[in-house]
Amino acid sequence: MPVEVSIREIRKRLLVEAAGLAPGDGRVATIAELIGAFHDTVAALFSPASPLFVNAVLEDVAAGEPAWKAALVDAVYRELVGPLLERDRAVLSQLPEEVASFWEAEVRLCDWLATLLLEEHRRHGSLDATRDIALYEQSLRAELREPSWRDSVVLSGRVDAMVRVPPTTDWCVVMLRTVGMPNNADSAMAALYGMLLTPSEPASEQTRVVSFTPELKERWIAGDELRATQATVKAAIGRIAGVARPTAGDGPRVPSRKWTELTPQHLAMQQDLLRVLGHYGLAATLEGPPLLGPTFIRFLVRPAEGAKVAHFTGLTDEIALGMSLRHLPMIERFGGLIAVDVERPDRFAVPFADLRQLLPPTDPLQGNSLVLVGVDLEGRPVFIDLAKPEHCHVLVVGTAGSGKSIWLRAAIASLVETNTPATLQLLLIDPKRNAFTAWRDSPHLREPLVFPDDAPPLGVLEGLIEEMEDRYRRMAEAHVDDLRGLIRAEGRTIPRIVCVCDEYADLVAESDERREIEAAIARLGAKARAAGIHLILATQTPRRDVISGTIKANLPTCIGLRVSSGAEARIIETPGAELLLGYGDLILKAIGEPQRLQGVLIPAGGTVPEPVAVG
């Protein structure tokens, strides 16, 4: 049965790949989010159902270029950009240049469209003809096939970035091209839309692309280039949709993944799921075999036409009862399918030892800023990059038995194994006195383990602030803006500093210096990234009186392990965390869509013996 993916997802992935970013690069989600918001603007301006519909925005504004531009800019900020900045403020506050460039592109888009709309208004006497200059509501569906694919791919969704430029009748592609994106990003988008609009016809002789970088640029792409790009784009779609045969370039995976073996028990569970859905009147068909991860099994089902996603997501209790599950399933939309994740009866652990050979290489001068988070459903390691604004500081939340302390130890181990003491310093705050004993004598320690009963943690944080300010002074003198630049300028190693606190709630619960501690953490969270100083704070209790708005706003990445309630999951913005299975089952949330992963197992001593039992 064909694999269905959305046009939006393919477009985002193609643009990210055109920028030369690897899946583990921290900028991926940010770039995708900004690209999606930009195209949402184009679609919303020409959709009658949107509060941004140009006819409604400009209805009471006197026709004229300056007035129309101002009205469009104001409406775009009020209805789309402002809410986006508020929703993702923790990450975007760390990206001032990218956000400024994105907003400038939005303003220039409004300027460009105001000029086009005014031309339409002069020609027709009104804006009623806007329907003819944008593909704002045309839903497309195209099926693609390749002999080497295991199945065909159906692209479906709405085109939201195509506009006619009067007086011509040809469509042009409108896109945001972020800093560093090469010209082949233009070609990729033109090729994608060409395949969707005329899937059975060869590429036209030339296609017009209007891109915002944020300056407006126009480019005509010749037919030969477009035809060559279409072949590349099609191959990328097959890879993204998961129908292409695996190749060496698909990324390293955990060796000897025993959990990938499909058993009759797994197939029986799949049939049980269909039976339960049918019992409650939900017609659905299976979409391929189950996807097996170390912790859970993902069943993909295609709902019957007209079925509502809410009808499926509202059946967690019934599915658990009908399938005799110990834990409630996690159910969500997955492209054009419904994904039902259930605990596998034969759960496997993922030993840290199995990931050692997949850790990033060590740079003797710059060190390594990647932290291992866990493995995905395909067994690929997933990292966050402390050097990136969206991952620079981390909040780790999980109740007892969730695997929080083990995750912290694995994160520290991944840094220690890929850095020398000259490139990494650890500052470990341990209110429980037993979380970080493996590193008691580590040469990576900036100072001895910090036990709040013995040493005031405020003094430790103030020491980090002093180091941060000293590094900023040196960066200003060297005319550089981050740690990597300072290392190059001074020609010597400067250690990245990672401060890890295992139980933040205990740290501040009985402290007379709580307000000062929170102020120090907020200051480090707001400024320390570029200086190479990072915070990883963990807590069992993500209550609002523990994780204040200021603290949360300055910790852009959240590792959500199992929490006690849906209310706690909402506080840390990891919906479904209350349904996680414990022991390292986690949700990674930075910017964009959350990702469910399995943390790796490391012994309590912090060492990584060979082998670690899997069971």
Residue 158 burial (CB < 10 Å; 0-12/13-18/19+)? middle
The pLDDT, as a whole number, for residue 319 is: 94
Q: Per CATH, the architecture of 258-343 is what? A: 2-Layer Sandwich (3.30)
Q: What token pair was written down for 285?
A: 């068909």
Mean pLDDT by 10 residues, the chain (615 residues): 73 66 53 78 81 87 89 93 82 77 91 86 76 65 78 75 67 68 70 72 69 82 77 80 58 76 89 92 85 92 84 92 93 83 92 90 89 91 91 93 93 95 94 88 93 85 95 95 92 95 80 83 92 94 78 88 89 87 92 86 58 29
Same fold for the pair 258-343 and 366-598: no
Instruction: Answer for the pair 107, 73: CB distance below 8 angstroms, yes or no.
Output: yes
The pLDDT value given to residue 19? 58
State residue 549's pLDDT score.
Answer: 76
Beta bridge partners of 557: 394
> Which residues pair with residue 140 across a beta bridge?
157
Percentages helix, strand, coil for the chain (3-state, rounded to 5) are: 40, 20, 40
Peptide bond into 214 cis (omega under 30): yes
Task: Please name the residues in contact with 483: beta carbons below 8 A apart, sequence gap of 6 or more.
Answer: 387, 471, 494, 496, 530, 531, 532
* Alpha carbons 437 and 46: distance in angstroms, whole number: 60
Q: Under 8 Å CB-to-CB from 220, ≥6 apart: which residues?
A: 206, 207, 208, 209
pLDDT reported for residue 613: 29
- Please tell me the distance from the alpha carbon of residue 244 to that of residue 393, in angstroms, as a whole number: 36
Rounded CA-CA distance 418/369 in Å is 9
- Collapsing DSSP to helix, strand or coil, 576 comes out as coil
Residue 231 tokens, joined: 């072949």
Can you list the positions of beta strands (E) in 55-205? Answer: 139-144, 153-158, 162-164, 171-176
What CA–CA distance (Å, rounded) separates 271 from 277? 10
For residue 37, give Cα distances in angstroms to 103, 268, 372, 563: 11, 42, 29, 31
pLDDT of residue 615: 28
Domain boundaries, the chain: 4-241, 258-343, 366-598
| C-alpha distances in Å from residue 345, one per residue of 163, 296, 325, 326, 327 | 52, 9, 9, 9, 11
Q: Which CATH class is domain 366-598?
A: alpha beta
27-47 residue pLDDT tens: 555 666 787 788 788 878 888
